[in-house]
Amino acid sequence: MIELPKYQVLNLEHSGNLQKKRSHQEINKQMHEKKIWLDELHEGSRYGLEGKIIVKKKSSFQEIIVLETKAHGRALMLDGCWMTSDKEEKYYHECLVHPALSSLHEISNILIIGGGDGGTARECLKYKSVANIDLVEIDNEIVTISKHYLQQISMGAWNDKRLKVHFSDGFEWVKNINDNYYDVVLIDCSDPSQFSSGLFSKSFYKECQRIIRKDGIFATQSESPESFQNIHINIIKSLRETFKRVETMYSFVPFYPSGIWSWTFASDNVKSFLKEVNIEINSIEKSCDIWNLNYQSGAFKMMPNKIYKILSENKK
């Protein structure tokens, strides 16, 4: 049996709709000259974009590709998986940030783990009360490339003095932080891998609980209930075993595998968990393309029934 690579690059032939797989040598020769198809392969399905590769680099942690496309603007792929694009990034970043931040009266100190494209930081910086953001990214090449090639996503966030960037392992960073230090902890990481799997563990969630203030909130991207069902369920179960209140929001990132994605929020602040209390909500809503309170209200009611049944069974 031939093992397929994690992703394939395809060249779109001009004769009919025929697509031929090209050799790596041909791809390297053509990638800066012609449009190609770049696909994420996931369990027998392909999620691809057509464009020109403008960056292809192997960092100490992963392969990084930036694709220039007509339909999606610039798109970022890491180790064969789509991370973000100019067109669709707000479906992801706005849904991760604003349900959490809009539920706090005051927000001063924020931790972002991951987030090397700058989109999560950009959304956090919209809040005038934010005094400090620590962004902890393990791969400095992601930030370097994003600053140069993904400026439409960061929109100047890297130049804001409130944002402090640290190149470190996120789990190790959390272990060395004092108790009750952050108002908000946001996990904007890639899918579980050799260097990110710890960010999906119960021990990591317990460390995050320790460093969040009593009235603070934790938020993480929690994968797709369709394409990564087991990981998704394990995240929710682990957070429920750690925090007093946990809720999951579902929405869409169309070019991710299956299209449906999730973000899970957790806190020990039972009284005002996810209530819309921040005084800046109106201005934040006006600044967003995707998120608003109405959108959020519906998205928290979208748990697929198969997920609900599995989680309900586990409670027995």
Burial environment of residue 86 by CB neighbours within 10 A (0 to 12, 13 to 18, 19 or more): middle
Among candidate residues 29, 49, 83, the one where a domain is terminated: 83
pLDDT given at position 199: 87
pLDDT given at position 32: 56
| Domain co-membership, 225 together with 265 | yes
Q: Is residue 200 part of a domain?
A: yes
Kind plus residue range of the DSSP H or E element containing 251: strand 245-252
| Domain co-membership, 130 together with 188 | yes
| Domain co-membership, 78 together with 108 | no
Q: Is residue 2 part of a domain?
A: no
Q: For 176-252, where are the alpha helices, taking DSSP H only?
A: 202-211, 229-240
Kind plus residue range of the DSSP H or E element containing 7: strand 7-12
pLDDT given at position 196: 67
Q: Is residue 107 part of a domain?
A: yes
pLDDT given at position 246: 98
| Domain co-membership, 97 together with 224 | yes
Which residue matches tokens 């968990």? 273
| Domain co-membership, 307 together with 166 | yes
Q: Is residue 93 part of a domain?
A: yes
Which residue matches tokens 């439409």? 152
pLDDT given at position 11: 40
* Contact by Cβ (8 Å): 103, 275: yes
Rounded Cα distance between 270 and 267, Å, is: 7
pLDDT given at position 7: 41
Mean pLDDT per block of 10 residues along the chain (316 residues) reads 40 38 52 82 92 97 97 96 97 98 96 98 98 98 98 98 97 97 96 73 96 97 96 97 98 94 97 95 98 98 97 78
DSSP β-bridge partners for residue 249 = 263
| Domain co-membership, 72 together with 123 | no
CATH number at residue 166: 3.40.50.150
CATH number at residue 25: 2.30.140.10
| Domain co-membership, 74 together with 126 | no
- For residue 56, give Cα distances in angstroms to 3, 51, 53, 68, 206: 23, 13, 7, 12, 37
* Domain limits for position 226: 89-315
| Domain co-membership, 125 together with 41 | no
The set of residues, in sequence order, having a beta carbon less than 8 Å from that of 40 and lying 6+ positions away, is 7, 46, 47, 48, 77, 80, 81, 82, 257
Among candidate residues 32, 59, 83, the one where a domain is terminated: 83
pLDDT given at position 96: 98
Rounded Cα distance between 299 and 284, Å, is: 18
Instruction: Mark whether 289 is an active-site residue.
Output: no
| Domain co-membership, 55 together with 155 | no
**Number of domains observed in the structure of the chain:** 2
Q: Which of 117, 134, 139, 188 is catalytic?
A: 188
Among candidate residues 23, 52, 83, the one where a domain is terminated: 83
pLDDT given at position 2: 34
| Domain co-membership, 119 together with 47 | no
Rounded Cα distance between 89 and 290, Å, is: 10
| Domain co-membership, 252 together with 140 | yes
Q: Is residue 1 part of a domain?
A: no
Q: Is residue 255 part of a domain?
A: yes
| Domain co-membership, 294 together with 176 | yes
